[in-house]
Amino acid sequence: MKYKKLGNSDLIVSSICMGCMGFGDSKNGQHSWTIDEMETKKIIKSALELGINFYDTALAYQNGTSEEFTGKALRELAKRDEYIVATKFLPRSLKEIESKVSGQKHIENSINSSLKNLGLDYVDLYIYHMWDYNTPLEEIMLGLDNVIKSGKARAIGISNCFTWQLAKANYFARANSLTEFVSMQGHYNLIAREEEREMIPFCKEENIALTPYSALAGGRLAKYRGETSKRLEEDSYAKFKYDKTVELDQLIIDRVVELSKKYGVSMTEISLAWLLTKVTSPIVGATKVSQVEGMAKAVDLTLSDEDISYLEELYIPHQLVGVMAQNSKKS
């Protein structure tokens, strides 16, 4: 495993981040394909043994049970200074807004809930899960600064936002001596490359770490034509993101297959090796130990410039999907 500094923070993270959205009670949340506590521990044990020290979860994942399973496994398997934990908080709910719960209080309540679920005194990276259009930016940035000053997080990151929003937030923080975002978690992979327009160049200029989610497009960049899985069949949100462009995307996936056969490696290794030429630490989910082994191997695979061009040349701009499509209507 290789390690990198996370942007302008002092956090040293593995080149692969274990995405924990697949962990949690399958009967208690958005996803029906998540794995239980025992299987979660097996995955995390394998990841730790392969040198993966970076784990990303969220308060929203399976109503907090992802945090519970992840935190318990890490506490039992490793010392606190041997792993980096990131978790995320959502915008204020309508009920909170009507009850006049401030943005600062919402963030305080959210971090306390996450720490309780994780069984930890602090998280290493606390992430603004998606832009809150109903809360003043000042409230968000003050709330996050309070989290840092209280010792409940070591650094802050942001996810699912536009470049202008990240710039506005960090420049506001800079002008007011508040904590700045050190990482950006956006939707980015071989078949979803819209972040290359503005976000990636901006983050590289500002030394903001890129930790994209959906690194394998919900498994699509790791499976042959006709191959399926429980997640591919049941993940309605991923279908919403990818089904409209399936024919176009399949042409790129076919090239992943071609290169995997050429080098005698898995599709996962090819897809992630490409992504690792662009970002700090992609977030990669796993529900099987074999998947962890594949993501770790990708770190040691070097693609040629010709390989990279071959994988990229068929891409045609896509419409924004998922959270960002919803946000574009609000901006």
Q: Map residue 64 onto helix, strand or coil.
A: helix
- What does 87-152 look like in DSSP terms, one character per residue? EEEPPPPHHHHHTT--HHHHHHHHHHHHHHHHT-S-EEEEEE-S--TTS-HHHHHHHHHHHHHTTS
Cβ atoms of 183 and 208 within 8 Å: the answer is: yes
Which residue type, as a one-letter code, is found at position 60? A
Alpha-carbon distances of 240 from 119, 226, 245, 246, 268, rounded to whole Å: 34, 19, 10, 11, 22
Q: What is the Cα–Cα distance from 171 to 180, expressed in whole angstroms? A: 8
Cβ atoms of 286 and 295 within 8 Å: the answer is: yes
Alpha helices in 186-313 (DSSP H): 199-206, 230-234, 236-242, 246-263, 267-275, 289-297, 305-312
Alpha helices in 150-218 (DSSP H): 163-175, 199-206
- The pair of three-digit structure tokens given for residue 205, joined into one six-digit string: 């200029």
Cβ atoms of 46 and 39 within 8 Å: the answer is: no
What DSSP element (H or E) covers 156?
A: strand 153-159
Alpha-carbon Rg for the chain, nearest whole angstrom, is: 19
Cβ atoms of 78 and 48 within 8 Å: the answer is: yes
* Catalytic residue list: 61
Q: What is the Cα–Cα distance from 111 to 154, expressed in whole angstroms? A: 12
